[in-house]
Amino acid sequence: MDIKGIIEAIRSGVTGIQILGQDVNRIDEEIETVATTLGFRVKEWNLGYGWVDFKTKRALKPDQDALLYQDLKAIADDDPTGRIYVIQNACSVLKDDIRAIARLQQELLRIRRHFKGQAAIFFVSKESIEFSELVDLLIPFSCSPLSLEQVDGIFDSLLQEYSVTVTTAVRNSLKSIFNEMVTPSFPVLC
């Protein structure tokens, strides 16, 4: 993922960042790097729990249903200064919620008008968001799967750390399996 590009985009006033990818752990790590670099705090919403603590993924309101349209009121009521809001599984949740799309559009515009360079909303999804109300307010970034060289480096460090020796055939088989697991299918447009 282009962390420097995301940081520059936010500093220049971009309020909507779309992150395409499926490696949730890497995406979270890189969002955290962006937030740390900017001195921002992160607040995450997901379909399972609604608003959660970004690091622990524990629900902030465990007894409440996750309804994005209603939960977005938290952004409207919040001072977004120094904040990154992360909407996980954005494409899936927005697909059937035109009111949430409209509310997100208004929040992106409000942040652009009054908090330019001081806040952003990240839309994380495996699929590209193509809703006409949002598409012009988002800049897309991809979290590409690891390259074969990166996979090889990870295997080397793990094998060294645990003092394990494997044949070239086993190494190649493991790399092939890992590559199939992390290679995304073609994105479906929302």
**85, 166: one domain:** no
What is the predicted pLDDT for the residue at 64?
A: 84
Burial class (CB in 10 A: 0-12, 13-18, 19+), 8: exposed
Q: Over the stretch 26-69, which tens digit does the pLDDT of each residue have?
A: 899 999 999 999 999 999 999 999 999 999 999 998 888 889 99
Q: What CA–CA distance (Å, rounded) separates 37 from 25?
A: 18
Q: How many domains does the chain have?
A: 2
pTM, full prediction: 0.81
**75, 10: one domain:** yes
Q: Does 190 reside within a domain?
A: no
**94, 170: one domain:** no
More confident residue, 93 or 144: 93
What is the predicted pLDDT for the residue at 187?
A: 44
**103, 166: one domain:** no
**20, 79: one domain:** yes
Q: What CA–CA distance (Å, rounded) separates 139 from 18?
A: 6
CATH of the domain at 57: 3.40.50.300
The winner for highest mean pLDDT among 75-79, 80-84, 175-179 is 80-84
Q: Does 187 reside within a domain?
A: no
Q: Over the stretch 107-131, which tens digit does the pLDDT of each residue have?
A: 999 999 999 999 999 999 999 999 9
pLDDT at 186 over 70: no
Q: Which residue is it, tokens 């994005």?
A: 68
pLDDT band at 176 (very low <50, low <70, confident <90, very high): confident
**28, 83: one domain:** yes
**46, 68: one domain:** yes
Q: What CA–CA distance (Å, rounded) separates 113 from 129?
A: 23
pLDDT at 96 over 90: no
**160, 126: one domain:** no
pLDDT at 189 over 60: no
pLDDT at 87 over 80: yes
Q: 160 lies in which domain range? A: 148-182
Q: Over the stretch 128-175, which tens digit does the pLDDT of each residue have?
A: 999 999 999 999 999 876 667 777 787 788 888 888 888 888 878 877
What is the predicted pLDDT for the residue at 114?
A: 96
